[in-house]
Amino acid sequence: MELREIPPEKLDLSLGRLRLMPEAAVREKEESLRSKGQLSPLVAAEIDGVLVLVDGFMRQAAARRLGLEHLVVEVVRVSAVQMKAQVYLRNRDRGMGLIEECRLVCELCETDGLNQVEVADLLERHKSWVCRRLGLYRGLSPRLWEDASVGLLDGGSLRRLARLPTRNQEELVTVARRDDLKAQETSALVHLWSRAEDPEARQYLLDNPRGAIELSRAASGCAADPRLGEAGSGLLRDLVMVQQVILRLTRRLREGLGAVPDEGLCLLREAASRAQQAWRSALRETQKRLQSDEEEEE
C-alpha cells in the first residue's frame, strides 16, 4: 500500500460527478475531522501523473473547509475504467445510492463502451442488476434526476416513474412539488397513477393527490385509525369502497352505454332499483347506529 500526504486542493475531483454530496453528510465529516482527525486514508488513482480521487469526496470537501494542509491518501494504479469501478467497490459495504449506481452503470456503458456483461463482471454484480439500473437511468426524464439527487424522490418513486412516459413523469413530480408531498407520498401517488384505468381517475389524482392517497390507505387498511377499533376500521373501509364504486358508476354513465337493446335496459333498471333500495337501507342503518352510539357516549 502506497500512502502519501497530499494537499486536498491537489486532488482531481472529476469522478465526483458519480457521487452525491449531501450538505449534512459533509458537515458530519467536517465535525469528525475536527474532533478526531483523519481516521482512514482517502483513495486516489494515479492516471498520467494526476491523482484522481476515487473514495473520500466528502472528507476532501470537509478538509478544505477546515483549511487542512494535507490528507493521507492511498494511491492505487489502475486503468481509467477500473478507476470508476473502484468508486463503487470501495463503497459497496457502506452502500451507494440507487442514483449513484445508475450514473456509474450508464457511464461505463455509454461513455466507456462496455456491454452489460462486462460492467457486471467489473462491478462484481449480476447482469440483471446492471440491466435494471441502465433501464432506470434511460427511462427517467433527465429533468427529474436533479430532484432525485437532492432527495425529493426515493427509489420506489424512481422505479415507478421510469415506467411512465416522460410527460407523465414530469406532470406527477410537478404535482408532488405543488402539494409539498414527501418522498413516500410521491411514491404512493405514482403507484396509484400507474394503476388508474381512465383519464378521470388520473385527473382526480392530479387535483387531490393527498386525499387520494388517504382514501387508498383507508381502503386497504394500511393506515387504520386506532380510535376506530377493528369493527370501526372495517366499516370505514366499506364506506370508502362504496364511494369508489359510486365514482366508477358515475364515470361509466358519463361515457355512455352505447347501443343496449330494450331487454338489456330493463335489466339495468331493475339492478339500479335494487341497488338504490339496498344503499338507502344500509345508509339509514349506518346513520341510525352511529347516532345511537353517539347518544350512548353522551
Q: What is the pTM of this model?
A: 0.64
Output the pLDDT for position 297. Answer: 46
Output the pLDDT for position 298. Answer: 46
Output the pLDDT for position 89. Answer: 93
The Cα–Cα gap between 154 and 164 comes to 16
Residues of the chain with pLDDT under 70: 150-152, 218-230, 292-298
Output the pLDDT for position 59. Answer: 96
Output the pLDDT for position 220. Answer: 61
**1-79 placed in CATH 1.10.3720.10:** no
Output the pLDDT for position 22. Answer: 85
Output the pLDDT for position 245. Answer: 80
Q: What is the 3-state secondary structure (H, E, C) of the chain?
A: CEEEEECHHHCECHHHHHCCCCHHHHHHHHHHHHHHCCCCCEEEEEECCEEEEEECHHHHHHHHHHCCCCEEEEEECCCHHHHHHHHHHCCCCCCCCHHHHHHHHHHHHHCCCCCHHHHHHHHCCCHHHHHHHHHHHHHCCHHHHHHHHCCCCCHHHHHHHCCCCHHHHHHHHHHHHHCCCCHHHHHHHHHHHHHCCCHHHHHHHHHCHHHHHHHHHHHHCCCCCCCCHHHHHHHHHHHHHHHHHHHHHHHHHHHCCCCCCHHHHHHHHHHHHHHHHHHHHHHHHHHHHHHHHHHHHC
Output the pLDDT for position 6. Answer: 96
Output the pLDDT for position 113. Answer: 95
Output the pLDDT for position 80. Answer: 93
Nearest to 40 by CA among 72, 1, 10: 72
Give me 296's grid cell: 350512548
